[in-house]
Each structure stands twice: as C-alpha cells, then as structure tokens.
C-alpha cells in the first residue's frame, strides 16, 4: 500500500452546548484515497500533539464529526487509510483545533508532515488496572469480594495523586499519595439487592499531562453464589520422561472471589492413604498478577487480572523420589466454600536416570512482599552421584527477572530435612545456600528470582522460581551483571550495570496509538536457556515484521532487539498488549533501556500467547519492534480467544437482538482455528434452565483483528440473531477449537432484554 498524505480541513464547526465544560462539535474532511483495495479510514486524536489516545474506525466516509469536544481545549487529529488486507497507511499530516467560547474554531499550529507520533513528554502517570469487578451476595453485609488493589506509577518524573469515585457504594482506601503508590477498592457496608451497578474511579495527578485517568468499576449483586470456573493447562496429560521440577498451571475465577487452588495426587501402593482411598495434598498454587491477559480480557470477574495460577512441583519429592506414574488433581475453592475440580493430569517421572542438579528456592515466599537493602534469599541444591557441587557456591548463579546478578554469599550449610530426605548425595550435608540483595534497587512491582546450578560434570539446571513483590523500590531496576557473565568486566572494564526501562509513557493507551511508527527492519536475535556462551540465533519475522518466539514454560530467553542507543534523550521502551491496551511488560522480564536487550524468565503460571511491542528512539527517530511470544503452547492445551462486541456488558436489547464478536485460536497454523461458536442465555431467575440461542455465522470480516494478530485472522468474526423473552440474562459465548477439538473456552456478558 502506498504512503498516503491527506489535506485535512475543518469543513464546519458548530457550538452546541451551553453548560460549563460545554460540548461542541468539530467536523473533519480529507481527500479520498483512490486505491482500489481501500477498506476505510481510521481517525486518531488526543489532546497532545503526536499523542493519539483515541482511535475510531469511521468506514469509507471522508468526513467525520467529533461531538464531545470541550470548550477551550485543543485537540489534535490524524487519519489513516486501511486496505482490504488490514494494512494501514502512514499518518496524515496532523491538524489541531480549539473550540472557542463563541463556538468558533481557533486553528492550531500549521500542520506539518511528520513521520508519525512523537514520544510523549513530561511526567506520565499509569495504573496497572483497566477495570474492576466486585461481586456480592444480596442482603445486609452479605459476602462480598475482598479489597482489590491498583498500583499508581510515574515515568519522566513524579506527582502527587488522588483517587476518587462517583459510585456511592464504592470504598477507596489509601486514595492519595506522592509518587508511586497503591490504593484499594471494596464494597461499602450496607444492604444490597440483586442488581448490576457501574461506576468510575478517577485518578488525578496534577503534574502529569495525561491526568486524569479513569477505571470503570462494575458491581454485581447475586441472590446466591455460583461455583468457581477455570481449567488446568499444564502439564499435558500423560506426559512421560519428566525429571526435576514441573510447572502445574491454569486459570480460575469466581463470581465473588477465590480462596485457593490446591493440588492433590492419588496415593500409591504402600501409602496409608491408598488403603483409605483418599487423595494426598501436594501444595497450594500461587495466583499470578498479569500472567493470563487472555483470561483478563475475556472475563469480567473479581480478581480476573490474577486468574492465572501455578505450582512448581519438584518431582523428586513424590513417592519413590519421583520415579513412577502419578495422577495430579487441581481444585479451586471460593470464599463461600464451594469447590470444583479444575482438571486432572497423569504424569510419568524418571528421576532415576537424571544426572542434572535439582533443588528449590525457600525464600522469598511465593508471591510474598520483600523490602530492605539486605534481603536474604535462601535455597538448596543437590546433584546425583557421582557428581558434586562446589562447596563455595561458585557454580551457582542467581537470576532476578532473567538477569544474572550474582552467586550465593555462602553454600554448604546443613539442614536436617534435606540431609535426611536426600541421604547419600555428595552435598547432602551442606545443600543450603543464601544470596543477599538490595530490594531498593528494584522497580516497584512483581519480580522473579531463581538459581541455576552447574555440577562437577558440567550438568546445569535451573532450580526454583519464585515471585516476589517490591513496594519500596524506584521506577526502574538497576542490576549489576555477575562478573563472569559480563564481557565488559572480563575485559577489565569494571562492573557492568544494567538499568531497565521505566514504565512506558504510552501505558494505558490503545495499542493502535503506536501503529504510525514504522516497523524496524533490523533483525532481532535470541538466545535460549542459561548458557551465557550460547550462540545468538536469528528470530524470524512474518510479513508484517512481527517477530514470533516460542518459549518453554519457566524457561529463559533473551532478545537483542537492535543496536544500543547512544543518544541521552533516546532509549528503549516496551509494552505488553492486553485487550487492545498498552500495559507494563510482564512480571519476570527486564528491558535494558540503552543496550536494547530484553530478558524474560517467565514464572510459573505463564502459558499461552503474549503480544509485546518495543519502541526504539534515537536522534528523534522512532521504530517499532513487535514480538509475539508463545509460552508452552501445544495442541492439547490450545484455548481460543473470544471477544463479544455486541451486545455490550449490562446492555439493554430488544427481544430479537444480534450477538457479534470475534474468536481466534492463536496456536492455529492457518485460518482462525475456530470451527464454530455457540451462544447460550442463562436467566438470572433462580432455578431457570439455560436457553440455546444458536450457532453463529462464521467468517465475518475483521481486518482490525488481522491487523493486530496477523492476516490469517482477517475473517475471525462471528454473528448470530437470537430471541429471548424480557428479563435479565447472562449471555455466554463458547468457541470450538479445531486444535483441541473441544469447546474449551467461554466468555459472558450480562444483558437486559426489554
């Protein structure tokens, strides 16, 4: 598609309001595109030059009217053309306008012909939540969701801030601060009848030009609660040859809130539980904030942003030291005490033939919060005979967020339980070690820590993987590379310090706001695993320039995105794209803001597809580097992504209405990967049976989906027309995956039929 430049003019402007903060309208017109494959136009605009935080598809028209302009506020507009393949043109020249008190347009600066959006400047405020859902049981002080937290962060400076709400039923605690902080939201005490309510949280930071930010909040009051829902994703069923540690992962949500996800196993012959015919408790999973953006985007439930759960199982702790076949079960229990089986998996382990080191991290607690300048990280490590681990710990390497940061301060410490359970190994009498680090050097947020152990025969293995949260750090992480992993230090150049990129200035904006930045043509290189001397491999990109990476669950990889940035005003920024929005990079990752290296050691709970985008800025020039990462995906665990566009959540519809949206399986090699979509309506009245609305028409054109996820998803849309009697319903849509051969994902929206 050729580069397009438009001459935008203001065809007319009319003052239509009379109250304070009056609403006014601005009409844009632009020259039509003469190309035969034109599909339509997109208007992007915002209140800062080069910063377009609102994106609208306007069809094939060459005029568009903005009807929500505020008096004396300046707006900046650009237009893009989209062809039938979903490709977008460059931005048009930017035009600006301010609607004056008399309704006349005060022209903005003369439009230039820039290369696209410029990086936002000044202090920026960001919030790590896009929405909240609160559930409650009807009655006086009935059971309700626990308090939910949101983190406030800043880039390019700081500011005071306040969080307020227009919802009379919503309680905000800790709703003000200076600099990075957090607040929590909960339901006020009182009596509530069954209903659906909505409100808005507004976060105001006076020194941040992008302030205020808003978060929609939904309250759902039920006559009675429902069972939890979810699934187990890994390991695959009937997996064999397992050695060392294995990640048990999945997702779970509830209408009010979850208490826990627990892992059990069937007893084996010789155990007392075998005679009693009861399952044996293995452990409790950790809920991982941000691990499953696909679930967060598809569902609207309390704590859906931490629906992903995971448990790291050291299989040598199983009976017979992890040799044999075991059946594992995952259960979700909600705060009402309802429990459901999420799924079962059978695994066969063969640790007897393993020659690799093994062990675990003991502190920090999984998901715990740490602080201080001398926090102690404990762990233990052994290796099968006849090999051994150096007693000075010099062959153990500690990683934080995938970055090699040091070696244990000490190793060869005794602990009775390890010495007894694993008697006869070379290091049985001194398997414990510890590493001390300064938490104030880490950015506020969630991090990962793990050890990699190399024994006397050169066998290396990662052991343990723990999440921990830092709340007393800065907006960036500063880490010194361990000496043996630093080419600079080995060459006599002194300690090598890496500084992470701060939360990107575009956090919270539509992902499409970066589309005007050209995609980089510089190859991206990757290195897998923990071998610092492993060769770099080219990471291939598709026809749109999207780099596609397949990664192991709880593994590690690094990406060299491009050349280092020498310009002090430039650097790298990175985002996770979730539900069409730009969010902070995932937990356990580290982006070097100058060198352009991206480290990621996904912790337990991360599985599926993750859409990342990086921006490199140097000498005023910006390029975009899109990267899609598939973690631990396989046919057996493939799960479709579903979006309902119509009707809207809590929308009011007629008795005959259209349900429309899109569905795609991102593990599919061709097409959308979806065979069919079914829709059901669940009446809110107790004891009512679900109503099947029908099978959707598949293959509807969705170039917007294809533009984001790849051309093969251009026809991922679906629609169907259904009929319901007046009343309140939960509309549930489920998709049948061609890969898993099952309806293994569903989403819902509450609706009212009149």
Tens-place pLDDT, residues 317-339: 999 989 999 999 999 999 999 99
Give the pLDDT band (50/70/90) at residue 270. confident
Query: Which two tokens mark 524?
Result: 């991206």
Give the pLDDT band (50/70/90) at residue 388. very high
β-strand 597-600 against 589-591: which pairing, if any? antiparallel
Number of CB atoms found within 10 A of residue 188's CB = 12
**Residue 541 has what DSSP assignment?**
B
Residue 214 has pLDDT above 60, yes or no: yes
370 contacts 263 by C-beta, under 8 angstroms: no
Query: Which two tokens mark 96?
Result: 């600006």
pLDDT at 506: 83
Backbone angles phi, psi at 723, to 5 degrees: -130, 135
Query: Of 390, 393, 463, 396, nearest to 426 (Cα)?
Result: 390
The residue that leads in pLDDT, 170 or 495, is 170
Question: Which phi-psi region, left, alpha or beta, contains residue 121 (left: φ > 0; alpha: ψ -120 to 50)?
Answer: beta
Backbone angles phi, psi at 353, to 5 degrees: -95, 0
**Residue 337 has what DSSP assignment?**
S
21 contacts 46 by C-beta, under 8 angstroms: no
Q: 0.75 exceeded by the pTM?
A: no
Question: DSSP string spanning 255-318?
Answer: SS-EEEEEEEE---TTSHHHHHT--EEEEEPEE-TTS-HHHHHH---TTGGG-EEEEEEEGGGS
308 contacts 291 by C-beta, under 8 angstroms: yes
pLDDT at 513: 86
Give the pLDDT band (50/70/90) at residue 4. very low
Residues 6+ apart with CB under 8 A from 503: 124, 126, 153, 154, 155, 475, 584
Domains and CATH numbers, the chain: 9-107 (2.60.40.10), 124-222 (2.60.40.10), 229-353 (2.60.40.10), 358-497 (2.60.40.10), 500-635 (2.60.40.10), 638-753 (2.60.40.10)
Tens-place pLDDT, residues 528-574: 888 777 777 888 887 788 898 888 877 889 999 988 998 888 899 99
- Give the Cα separation of 751 and 647 in Å (integer): 7
C-alpha angle with apex 569: 211 to 182, nearest 5 degrees?
35
263 contacts 282 by C-beta, under 8 angstroms: yes
Residues 6+ apart with CB under 8 A from 215: 127, 129, 130, 131, 132, 150, 200, 201, 203
Residue 386 has pLDDT above 70, yes or no: yes
The residue that leads in pLDDT, 464 or 662, is 662
- 3-class SS at 347? strand
Q: What is the chain's mean pLDDT, rounded?
A: 84
227 contacts 198 by C-beta, under 8 angstroms: no
* Most confident range, picked from 122-126, 154-158, 237-241, 338-342: 338-342
Tens-place pLDDT, residues 223-232: 988 899 999 9
- Give the Cα separation of 293 and 149 in Å (integer): 17
Tens-place pLDDT, residues 597-629: 999 998 888 988 899 999 999 888 899 999 999
């Amino acid at each position: 598609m050729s580069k397009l430049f438009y001459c935008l003019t203001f065809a007319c402007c009319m003052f239509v309001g009379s109250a304070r903060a009056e609403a006014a309208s601005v009409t844009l017109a632009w020259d039509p595109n003469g190309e035969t494959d034109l599909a339509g136009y997109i208007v992007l605009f915002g209140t800062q030059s080069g910063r377009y935080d609102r994106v609208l598809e306007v069809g094939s028209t060459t005029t568009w009217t903005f009807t929500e302009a505020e008096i004396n506020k300046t707006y900046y507009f650009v237009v893009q053309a989209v062809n039938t393949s979903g490709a977008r043109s460059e931005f048009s020249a930017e035009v600006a306008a301010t609607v004056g008190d008399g309704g006349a347009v005060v022209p903005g600066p003369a439009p230039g012909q820039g290369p696209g959006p410029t990086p936002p400047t000044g202090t920026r405020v960001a919030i790590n939540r896009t929405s909240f859902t609160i559930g409650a049981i009807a009655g006086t002080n009935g059971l309700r969701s626990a308090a939910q937290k949101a983190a406030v962060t800043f880039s390019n400076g700081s500011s005071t801030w306040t969080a307020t709400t227009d919802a009379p039923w919503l309680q905000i605690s800790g709703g003000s601060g200076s600099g990075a902080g957090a607040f929590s939201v909960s339901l006020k005490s009182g009596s509530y009848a069954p209903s659906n309510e909505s409100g808005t949280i507004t976060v105001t930071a006076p020194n941040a030009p992008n302030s205020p930010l808003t978060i929609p909040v939904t309250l759902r009051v039920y006559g009675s609660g429902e069972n939890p829902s979810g699934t187990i994703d890994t390991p695959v069923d009937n997996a064999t040859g397992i050695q060392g540690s294995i990640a048990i992962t999945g997702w779970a949500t509830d209408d009010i809130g979850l208490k826990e996800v627990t892992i059990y196993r069937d007893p084996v012959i010789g155990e007392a539980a075998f005679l009693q015919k009861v399952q044996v408790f293995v452990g409790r999973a950790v809920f991982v904030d941000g691990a499953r953006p696909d679930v967060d985007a598809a569902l609207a439930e309390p704590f859906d942003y931490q629906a992903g759960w995971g448990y790291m199982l050291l299989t040598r702790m199983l009976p017979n030291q992890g040799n044999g076949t075991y059946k594992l079960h995952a259960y979700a229990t909600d705060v009402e005490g309802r429990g459901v089986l999420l799924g079962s998996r059978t695994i066969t382990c063969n640790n007897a033939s393993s020659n690799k080191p093994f062990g675990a991290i003991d502190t920090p607690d999984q998901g715990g919060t740490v602080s201080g300048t001398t926090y102690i990280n404990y762990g233990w490590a052994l290796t099968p005979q006849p090999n051994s681990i150096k007693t000075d710990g010099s062959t153990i390497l500690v990683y934080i967020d995938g970055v090699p940061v040091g070696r244990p301060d000490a190793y060869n410490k005794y602990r009775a339980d390890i010495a007894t359970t694993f008697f006869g190994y070379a290091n049985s009498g001194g398997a414990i070690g510890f590493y001390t680090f300064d938490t104030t050097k880490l950015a506020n947020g969630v991090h990962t820590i793990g050890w990699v152990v190399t024994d006397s025969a050169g066998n290396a293995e990662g052991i343990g993987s723990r999440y921990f949260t830092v709340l007393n750090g800065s907006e960036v992480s500063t880490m010194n590379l361990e000496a043996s992993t630093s080419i600079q230090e080995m060459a006599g150049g002194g300690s090598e310090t890496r500084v992470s990129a701060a939360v990107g200035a575009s956090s919270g904006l539509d992902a499409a706001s970066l589309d005007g930045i050209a995609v980089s043509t510089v190859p991206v290189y990757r290195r897998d695993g923990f071998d610092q001397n492993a060769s770099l491999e080219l990471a291939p990109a598709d026809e749109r320039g999207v780099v596609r990476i397949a990664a192991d669950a709880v593994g590690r990889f690094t990406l060299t995105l491009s050349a280092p940035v020498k310009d002090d005003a430039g650097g790298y920024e990175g985002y996770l794209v979730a539900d069409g929005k730009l969010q902070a990079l995932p937990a356990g990752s580290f982006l070097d803001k100058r060198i352009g290296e991206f480290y990621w050691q996904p912790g337990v709970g991360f599985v599926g597809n993750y859409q990342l985008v990086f921006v490199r800025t140097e000498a005023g020039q910006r390029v975009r580097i899109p990267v899609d990462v598939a973690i631990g995906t396989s046919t057996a665990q493939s799960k479709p992504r579903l979006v309902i566009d119509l009707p809207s959540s809590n929308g009011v519809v007629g008795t005959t209405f259209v349900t429309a949206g899109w569905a795609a399986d991102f593990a599919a090699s061709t097409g959308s990967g979806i065979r069919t979509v079914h829709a059901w309506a669940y009446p809110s009245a107790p004891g009512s049976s679900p109503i099947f609305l029908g099978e959707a028409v598949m293959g509807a054109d969705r170039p917007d989906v294809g533009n984001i996820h790849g051309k093969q998803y251009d026809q991922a849309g679906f629609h169907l027309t259904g009929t319901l009697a007046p009343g309140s319903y939960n509309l549930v849509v489920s998709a049948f995956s061609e890969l898993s051969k099952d309806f293994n994902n569903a989403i819902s929206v509450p609706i009212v039929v009149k």
